[in-house]
Structures are given as C-alpha cells and as structure tokens.
Amino acid sequence: MKLVIATRRSRLALWQAGHVKRALEERHSGLQAELLPMSTRGDEMLHARLDQAGGKGLFVKELENALADGRAQLAVHSMKDVPAELPQGFVIAAILAREDPRDAFVSNLYPDLKAIPAAGVVGTSSLRRAAQIKERHPRLEVRLLRGNVETRVAKLDQGEYHAIILAVAGLVRLGLDGRIRSRLDVEESLPAPGQGALGIECLSGAHEVLALIAPLADPMATACVRAERAVSRALGGSCALPLGAYAEADGARLQLRALVASADGARVLRTSAAGATADPEALGQQAAAQLRAQGAAEILGA
C-alpha cells in the first residue's frame, strides 16, 4: 500500500513528516509513504501577525484540501498550529509521543530574559509568549518575528533582536538545541496547547488509513493535548487570544495549568485543575470555566 503525506515545505515540517513516514514504514511491512510538500498561506504571509491574518488555520487549510481531493491520505501538523475545531469530516487520528513542550530563550548576548537591559528587543510571533514577557519584564520591547526557525535564528544573528523565543521542540528536531541558552520554566512561560506534540490528520471516513495510523498514538501525550485543546476550544480557540495550557499525566490523573492574558500583559489570569486521564475534555472545560469565573470574558471581549 502507498500513502501520501501532506506537509508544509519548511525544514522542520519536512522533518516531522519524515518522522511519521519512517514510523509508519517500520511498523507496517510493505507500506510505502511519500511526502507531498506544500506551501500554506501562513508560510507566505511573513509580515503580518497570525491573529490579524486569519489565525492557525492558515497553516493547515491547504493540507486539508489535499486530503479532501485525494492528493494525500494524511497530513502531519505541529499540534500547536491546529485550530481547536476541525472542519467536518476531518479527524486527528493520532498524537505522537511529545518532545519537550517548553519555550526556549535564544540569544547571542544574554543568558536569560532578566539579563537583557531596558529597551532590549525580544522577538516572537506568539501573542501568548509576548503577553507573558510583558507581564514579567515590562522594560523590554517585544517585536514581531515571523518566518521558519532558521529565518528567525538568522535575524537574531544579524542583530535585529537581542533575543528570540522559540519552541524547544522545533530547535531539538532540527539539531539546533545548541542555540538554546535556557529553557523557560512553564511557570515563566506557559506553553501553547499541544506544543511539542505532532498530530496526524486524515478524513474521518478513511477507515483503512485510520487503522494504520492508530498504533503511532501515545496515550499520555494524547490525553494531555486533548485537555489543553479543550481549554482553547471552550474559550474560543483562536490566535487572537493569548492563551496557554499545559497538562502533565501521572498515571490515571492529569494536572492541567492554563492562562488567559491581555495582549499587553497587564492582566494575566491563571488557574489549575486536576482530573481523570480518561476524560481530558472535561478537565479542559473545568479550567476554562475557572478562567471565566476570574473575568476571562472581559479579556476575551477586549
């Protein structure tokens, strides 16, 4: 059997799709998989903030079109880039074992955020990261940073930023973990829902493909990511919202932390909840309700 895997064209996306390709071929004797690299609107719109340009769907729509018209049977995504609600007829068939979900501090000049002098420039494309930096380090200037991982690191090396914040997972997967000066504790920078996890999307009616993909799923990572995405879904689930959510599994229990922030970091609401691994969506909804009780609706409507 032959499978075609839709993927974005960036080196990181190709690594991720290649990782899935190898895992499938190793598990299923005789299976052949090939990559279908594609450009998405999110990759092309490099000078706009994602929340202003259309949100997370910018990175997945073209890949979903390839699934819908039969050019590909599955698509590989970073789960943090997948909208909280999928279009009808599509499903995340498997969430793989998770890489380190934390944010990375990358700088040629300073060991951490505290060391950067007043008015120092920190680059990020994420409203979530920006709000948490502004909350703790209001003296710093947070500036938009778009592009693939290598492009962002190159802009740092060219002196456009004193430091940049990237996902640890992407740097590790590209062999660039040597550039990490420090890994930000989740208390300092709560990750995005699904950060560090890869997801495989396919058509919900593609039963043979679903059966092939199912063995790649990691149960603990799946429960954690489902809880995190449930927070996002319950609160509106868009890039326009500085939202973090991170779950950890301990056997039959999940511990979930979540936050919602104003874009300027002036208001940051935090909560935590614990619940059963078997019902991660309920835990995410509980955390979202706790944030709403703290006044998240005012931030969401701002």
CA dihedral of residues 256, 262, 267, 269 (deg, nearest 10): -20
81 in active site: yes
Which position among 81, 100, 157, 218 bears the catalytic label? 81
Length, in residues, of the chain: 302
Contact 227, 282 (CB under 8 A): no
Q: Say how many C-beta atoms besides its own lie within 10 A of residue 155's C-beta.
A: 16
Contact 5, 212 (CB under 8 A): no
Q: CA-based angle 262:264:269, to the nearest 5? A: 35
Tokens at 41, concatenated: 């609107």
Percentage helix, strand, coil, to 5, in the chain?
40, 25, 35
Tokens at 267, concatenated: 């208001």
Contact 145, 123 (CB under 8 A): yes
Report the DSSP pairing between strands 2-8 and 32-38.
parallel
> What amino acid positions are annotated as catalytic residues?
81
